[in-house]
Structure 1
Amino acid sequence: MYQKPVSITLAEATRKLEYYCAYQDRCHKEVEAKLNTYNLIPEAKDKILLHLMEHNFLNEERFAKSFARGKFKTKHWGKNRIVRELKFRNISSFLIKIALQEIPEEDYLQSLHTLASKKLAQITESNIFKKKKKLADYLLYRGWETQLVYDKINELTS
């Protein structure tokens, strides 16, 4: 059954979006999508976005940095995957470059080694070439750079 969207006041929408942004860092794209669920005129949407930016509820640089750190630490994504996901969220190339600086190079390489070693131990394939391909596919899907992946595979399987 179809329900007509409920109209809310500007103050209510602002309060709800302040909570939405305070709960977790958000990008403009996510906030605009949330705004579109409310039945507001474009001027009200612009006013709310401006309010959120002025009061530091909405900050693209902070979002990009926390996104990069979080996805690297929790999901062990490589830089390519992080860049792809940030671009999908319409984050500028300048901010993406800043966000990637949040990942220490030593931790990055150590994470690749740990991830590759664990996955290699899990692959039960007896053919060494198929085993290498499965490992490479896994690491490339997770966004690790091609040269790093092949260097690591050669290091672990030699």
Structure 2
Amino acid sequence: MLQKKQPITEQETLLKLSALCARAEHSSGEMLEKMRRWQLPDDARERVLDRLIDEQFVDDERFARLFVREKIRFDHWGRRKIEQALYLKGVDSNISRRVLDEVDDEAYVAELKKLLATKRRSVKAENDYELRQKLTKYALGRGFGYEVIRRCIDGADELLGD
């Protein structure tokens, strides 16, 4: 006969989540979602989250800065895709907007140029127009804005040359 699982206590939750946050950055939204799945009561969730924030295990701004830096540098994501991912992780839009506004425009454009140059090597196109369309569609899918894409493609003859 299967035994029914004992509900997790508030203290056990605090210990588990603080250990989790000690290993890697997590957002308050992620912590709330874990506690919801563990079926912790609403009032207990709030107390645990407040304690995690007070003890600096959870800091949404710190999380957002790290997340943005990693997604631009390693995953080559654009602003829109990052913004959406932060929203899904429960980061307040004011925090995500502020952190994204701090991103150096030159570094952001440089990442897009590298991404487009890499993609260019594998794109088959009949002419420059088709090549521009394919590269633009690819960059849009990665979350970059149309204006920054146009700036990179229009100013890069090496992308269009064979």
TM tier, shorter chain?
0.7 to 0.9
The aligned counterpart of 1:151 is 151
Write out per-residue CA displacement over residues 91-142 of structure 1, whole angstroms, 9 at most, x where no aligned residue.
Answer: 2332123311453222112111111111112102223322221110110111
Q: TM-score with structure 2 length normalisation?
A: 0.85
Contact 2:76 2:111 in 1 (8 A): yes
In the alignment, is residue 86 of structure 1 matched against residue 70 of structure 2? no
Aligned-pair CA distance for 1:90: 3.4
Distance 1:42 1:148, change over 3 A: closer
* RMSD after superposition: 2.1
| Residue type of the alignment partner of 1:56 | Q
The aligned counterpart of 1:116 is 116
Aligned-pair CA distance for 1:3: 8.1
Distance in 1 separating the partners of 2:150 and 2:35: 44
Distance in 1 separating the partners of 2:120 and 2:93: 34
Percent of aligned pairs sharing the same letter? 28
Aligned-pair CA distance for 1:25: 1.4
Write out per-residue CA displacement over residues 46-86 of structure 1, whole angstroms, 9 at most, x where no aligned residue.
Answer: 22111111101111111111111111111011112212222
Helix, strand or coil at the partner of 1:122: coil
The aligned counterpart of 1:23 is 23
The aligned counterpart of 1:50 is 50
Q: TM-score with structure 1 length normalisation?
A: 0.87
The aligned counterpart of 2:8 is 8
Contact 2:30 2:90 in 1 (8 A): no
Q: Which runs of 5+ in 2 are unaligned?
A: none
Q: Find runs of 4+ consecutive structure 1 residues off by over 4 angstroms.
A: 2-5
Aligned residues: 157
Distance in 1 separating the partners of 2:136 and 2:6: 50
Helix, strand or coil at the partner of 1:75: coil
Helix, strand or coil at the partner of 2:121: helix
Equivalent residue runs for 1:36-75 within 5 Å: 36-75=36-75
Deviates more, 1:69-78 or 1:117-126: 117-126
Distance in 2 separating the partners of 1:73 and 1:6: 43
The aligned counterpart of 2:104 is 104
